[in-house]
Structure 1
């Protein structure tokens, strides 16, 4: 099997089903929702980040997470530059998983973050699929 990006795209496009694309769209919509939820519940973020805020630059981190979730979620939903949008999500999701081990363990948050990270890694590797803006623009050439 060809392991280049082109080979992975060929595999994803040949195996792309409605479920493949529905998973990508669901992931994008979930990230948009989480971005909005994150903005509206910023007090929880301040409490979590308080011990290490001097190291991460609290407000910079807050704005990065909110923008990456909302803008990345929109791009993922439409399948536009999907891999790039997901690469921007990976540090956030890895941090979300690790926060459960650094701070107070919340099994539900850990499960959601782990599942979201898994889907993000999957779509980062295999791309956006056949029913996406990426595929449409590629076929326009």
Structure 2
């Protein structure tokens, strides 16, 4: 039994039910952020382009990756299906939001955007380890 399999088994057995409410809320939050990203895509892509100059095609590709990952990953987190994969897909986006979007001189000031990004990143890492939980589409009967 390798390390990843043991972590997955531990996360499946030690998952409190109330964390499923947090997982569902996180999924709703990511869906809402994905919709907001689509509405403000040009402003946010200009901000990313100022901090990380990319060719226009890669910038468009990055923008589409972000909103599709947020919406699809949020739906998967709400349903509890493939939650670990959905969280792994979200983690690079949050790291980019922390280091590139919030990377001006105000990085260490207590702004809500940075704090929210850090909390969401922490929750995503938690759900990569803990997994779906008992209230999910893929709940295993072997754990009960």
Shared fold per TM-score greater than 0.5: yes
Q: What are the ranges of 5 or more consecutive residues in structure 2 without an aligned counterpart?
A: none
* Pairing 1:108–2:107 present: no
* 1:92 Cα deviation from its structure 2 partner: 0.1
SS of corresponding position for 1:76: helix
Q: What are the ranges of 5 or more consecutive residues in structure 1 without an aligned counterpart?
A: none
Contact residue 69 and residue 89 of structure 2 kept, 8 A: yes
SS of corresponding position for 1:130: coil
Q: Pairwise CA RMSD of aligned residues?
A: 2.3
In structure 2, how many angstroms separate the alpha carbons of the residues matched to 1:63 and 1:35?
10
Pick aligned residue for 2:123 from 76, 95, 119: 119
Contact residue 102 and residue 114 of structure 2 kept, 8 A: no
In structure 2, how many angstroms separate the alpha carbons of the residues matched to 1:125 and 1:16?
10
User: What count of residue pairs does the alignment treat as equivalent?
Assistant: 137
Looking at secondary structure, tell me which structure has more helix per residue.
1
Aligned to 2:54: 54
Gap change, CA 1:71 and 1:98, over 3 Å in 2: same
Residues 77-96 of structure 1 mapped to structure 2, 5 A cutoff: 77-96=78-97
Aligned to 2:20: 21
* 1:128 Cα deviation from its structure 2 partner: 1.1
**Given the two structures, how large is their TM-score scaled by the length of structure 1?**
0.84
* Pairing 1:76–2:77 present: yes
**Given the two structures, how large is their TM-score scaled by the length of structure 2?**
0.82
SS of corresponding position for 2:64: helix
**Segments of 4+ moved more than 4 angstroms:** none
Greater shift in the superposed pair: 99-108 or 28-37? 99-108
